[in-house]
Structure 1
């Protein structure tokens, strides 16, 4: 990634000396605005060295204001059944702060950030299903090749399989389809349940702990998923907010329960893929957030979609917003040539 320079704009106030501003143009659709940072006045313009120094000094402030302005501009473009305007504004600001953060990172920094995120994500999404491999154990395994001790083969395979999931997902750049969902399941369940990996369930004798609804009849699974996928993209095309639609899709997917096992891991992977395609940061599903995640889905089970969507919005806001701003501040600083990049530099 490369640091984008700002241009110098000169204002000529009446009866006063010229004023110099760093300017960043922001565009949303056919609308555009300027983000301006005053850097001084006088009849002698700042030197190239001064401009470079000032760009470095004010990058964080300018990029944060640009993200806020783009969020404000884009907020009015979306329809929503359950999100408030304030929530949409926060979600859009998170999206544009994340965008600025990624644009300012070097290739090595981005690789380190993604690797760190994947370790946390894999550990969290498997932990929700009962896997006991801890985050330090997962990090030691994926980064240093130190396999966790005293873990079942199933637990080890659950983590191993996500390496292939990440590779497949990162090479896939199309819409969510039935085949995409099946392939994710096949990768996730490899060497765990090979007989049903990648295949929809054929039985309705399913019990889901903590839930009292009936799952979709097995003979209607393909029709139900096809309707869910079609409805998701139709509403996105009609201007409904992607985050809200992804949450609703995730809930309906889990209610449909298309597979005998592995529905949660597949559903969370599809949900995050939808966020990723919309250029939003993905969610971490950590062990200490299990109760609130399940609570949100139970609101959906009781048709209280507004509360469910609101909880998911609060999760991403609390989990990602301040972290992304801190990370943006780090990458906005001039690149240091001394020292080695650490995986823990970016949360």
Structure 2
């Protein structure tokens, strides 16, 4: 129900229309419309209310399909994240550095392994921590090293989420192994490894990316960071803007969103890749990021609920 709000700020009075609108399962959002400093008359108020109700329907339609998580799930995620951060801050600098490096090691191993790398977890750790290169395919070695550099860029960058950042991430990751396509948008059709859904045609890449970044800017103000990360990763894979390497960049996009909003990064395990691929395929079928969001909730909880607790 729409109602009138009178707000006093100092000596001035302002009037708003408001409604506590339902925007998802168990989710509500207070929507407001500023009317001015003069209280509208009954006839004007009725007309403004009708107009506001129409605007509310548009707003609700724009938001309802993106709120994937229930309030209790969000509360659990936030509690898990805050609890982990409290424990993390109690570590000394050396312990923090080692914890961070351990995440880099497993993330690089799993993300590249999902994409077909032959390096083992131990080989990745020795390469990244001690610069001991295994006697394996040179491309796998170079991409492991560059994956570490790209992840560091994700954490350090102050650049807003745009095409320039995407191309910079892709170029950093693949400049030594795929120099002819690194940082460049695709020119031929491609597909999502493991999910096999239709991706954007090369002729429409710029159009779809423009809409992608516009939607991201809008949704970043409305969604929980984990919902936003799931949406951003799924939509990126749907577009598949680069000729190769989209899965690895998409997983970095997911973590860019989480890190930028104060949440811990997620490592999707290579042993779970079939579940991960099925989640992406379900997102495509349903035209919604909820299946991936639910997978990320499980991964986030598994990684951080008990991390750094004594005896864990």
Which bin holds the TM-score, normalised by the shorter protein?
Answer: 0.7 to 0.9
Per-residue deviation at 1:269?
Answer: 0.7
Please identify, of 184-193 and 302-311, the stretch whose mean Cα deviation from structure 2 is larger: 302-311
Report the Cα distance in structure 2 between the residues aligned to 1:99 and 1:210, rounded to whole angstroms: 34
- Counterpart of 2:100 in structure 1 is 114
Report the Cα distance in structure 2 between the residues aligned to 1:271 and 1:305, rounded to whole angstroms: 12
Report the Cα distance in structure 2 between the residues aligned to 1:311 and 1:161, rounded to whole angstroms: 27
Find 2:110's aligned residue among 104, 117, 124.
Answer: 124
Per-residue deviation at 1:121?
Answer: 0.7
Per-residue deviation at 1:76?
Answer: 8.4
Specify the SS of the correspondent of 1:98: helix
Gaps of 5+ in 1: 1-74, 331-346
Is 1:313 equivalent to 2:297 in the alignment?
Answer: yes
Report the Cα distance in structure 1 between the residues aligned to 2:279 and 2:216, rounded to whole angstroms: 20
TM-score by length of 2: 0.74
Per-residue deviation at 1:318?
Answer: 2.2
Within-5 A mapping of 1:134-149 = 134-149=120-135
Equivalent pairs counted in the alignment come to 251
Change (3 A) 1:209 1:173: closer
Asked if the contact 1:161/1:189 (under 8 Å) is kept, the reply is yes
Find 1:178's aligned residue among 163, 171, 174.
Answer: 163
- Counterpart of 2:257 in structure 1 is 274
Find 2:204's aligned residue among 220, 226, 237.
Answer: 220
Per-residue deviation at 1:158?
Answer: 1.1
Per-residue deviation at 1:207?
Answer: 4.0
- Counterpart of 1:298 in structure 2 is 281
- Counterpart of 1:47 in structure 2 is none
Report the Cα distance in structure 2 between the residues aligned to 1:306 and 1:170, rounded to whole angstroms: 26
- Counterpart of 1:84 in structure 2 is 70
Aligned-residue CA RMSD in angstroms? 2.2
Is 1:197 equivalent to 2:182 in the alignment?
Answer: yes
- Counterpart of 1:342 in structure 2 is none
TM-score by length of 1: 0.67
Change (3 A) 1:280 1:144: same
Asked if the contact 1:94/1:280 (under 8 Å) is kept, the reply is no
Is 1:253 equivalent to 2:226 in the alignment?
Answer: no
Please identify, of 223-232 and 84-93, the stretch whose mean Cα deviation from structure 2 is larger: 223-232
Report the Cα distance in structure 2 between the residues aligned to 1:76 and 1:89, rounded to whole angstroms: 15
Per-residue deviation at 1:187?
Answer: 1.0
Is 1:161 equivalent to 2:146 in the alignment?
Answer: yes
